Amino acid sequence: MSPGPIAERVYDALRIMILSRAFMPGERLDPAIISEQLCASVTPVREALHVLCGEQLVVTHRAGGFFLPTLDEPTLKDMYSFSNEVLGLALRLLRPWTIVDWDRIAERRTAYAERVADALEGVARASINTEHGRVMVFLNARLHAVRMIEPCVLQGSITEVCDIERALDSGDKDQLRRLLGAYHRRRIRSSAEILRALHRPATPPAPTIGI
């Protein structure tokens, strides 16, 4: 197998591990241990970790080593606020004829975190400014682990994302702005509780929702 496919496989597998909460916030990511887990050499693991640093899913310290980023309450609130700001800008430039191909992503739409990411990315990519979509892709990845926890902390989370999907399908910008604002404000208020749940070792089962 050529180095290209191996590097891609390692990157994809490691990214999935991070997004699925295989590591705790602040945990050291040892390339040697990860290489054994992924049945790969250390070199592609290190290369993948450097790429993930560029995506802000992994950080390095001055003393050396790779770590999962720590997440505190002010940072989480800033991320939620930034998400709302990006989407607000996208709504100002929303193409009214944009239709989200929900069927194309149907297999992803049973897990809450993936469904939120698809809906918010759908809003951002509907903007005539393509940078909004690109920013939302990276932000969605950074918030993925947090979103896996949200339904365990916030009752009615599933209903919120379904409402956002319907508003996006209808092209109702005012409704989308109201729903997205309420969605983010609620999570900003609950950031401390969400973080406490995030730092619990046990990973809760992902809630499922109908398509």
> Does residue 157 share a domain with residue 143?
yes
Q: How many helices (H) and strands (E) does the chain have?
A: 9, 3
Q: What's the CATH number where 131 sits?
A: 1.20.120
Q: Is residue 207 part of a domain?
A: no
Q: Is residue 211 part of a domain?
A: no
> Does residue 132 share a domain with residue 112?
yes
pLDDT 10s digits, 68-114: 998 999 999 999 999 999 999 999 998 765 555 555 445 555 689 99
The domain boundary residue, chosen from 43, 67, 91? 67
> Does residue 61 share a domain with residue 114?
no
Nearest Cα neighbor of 147 from 56, 23, 20, 12 is 20
Q: Is residue 129 part of a domain?
A: yes
Say if CB 95 and CB 128 are below 8 A apart.
yes
Q: Is residue 203 part of a domain?
A: no
> Does residue 82 share a domain with residue 60?
no
Tell me the CA distances in angstroms from 209 to 56, 58, 120, one per residue in order. 29, 30, 17
> Does residue 182 share a domain with residue 82?
yes
> Does residue 156 share a domain with residue 78?
yes
The secondary element (H helix, E strand) that includes residue 79 is: helix 73-92
pLDDT at 110: 64
Q: Would the pLDDT of 197 be above 60? A: yes
Q: Using CA atoms, how far apart are residues 169 and 171, in angstroms rounded to an integer? A: 6
> Does residue 168 share a domain with residue 122?
yes
- Tokens found for residue 31: 């390339």
Using the 8-state DSSP alphabet, how is residue 171 labeled?
T
Q: Using CA atoms, how far apart are residues 186 and 33, in angstroms rounded to an integer? A: 39
- In total, the chain counts a number of residues equal to 211
Q: What's the CATH number where 27 sits?
A: 1.10.10.10
Q: Using CA atoms, how far apart are residues 128 and 105, in angstroms rounded to an integer? A: 22
pLDDT at 66: 94
Q: Using CA atoms, how far apart are residues 136 and 116, in angstroms rounded to an integer? A: 11
Q: Would the pLDDT of 190 be above 90? A: yes
pLDDT 10s digits, 153-189: 999 999 999 899 888 888 889 999 999 999 999 999 9
Q: Is residue 206 part of a domain?
A: no
> Does residue 62 share a domain with residue 95?
no
Q: What is the tally of structural domains in the chain?
A: 2
The domain boundary residue, chosen from 21, 48, 67? 67
Instruction: Read off the pTM.
Output: 0.81
Q: Using CA atoms, how far apart are residues 50 and 47, in angstroms rounded to an integer? A: 5
Which structural domain range is residue 61 located in? 3-67
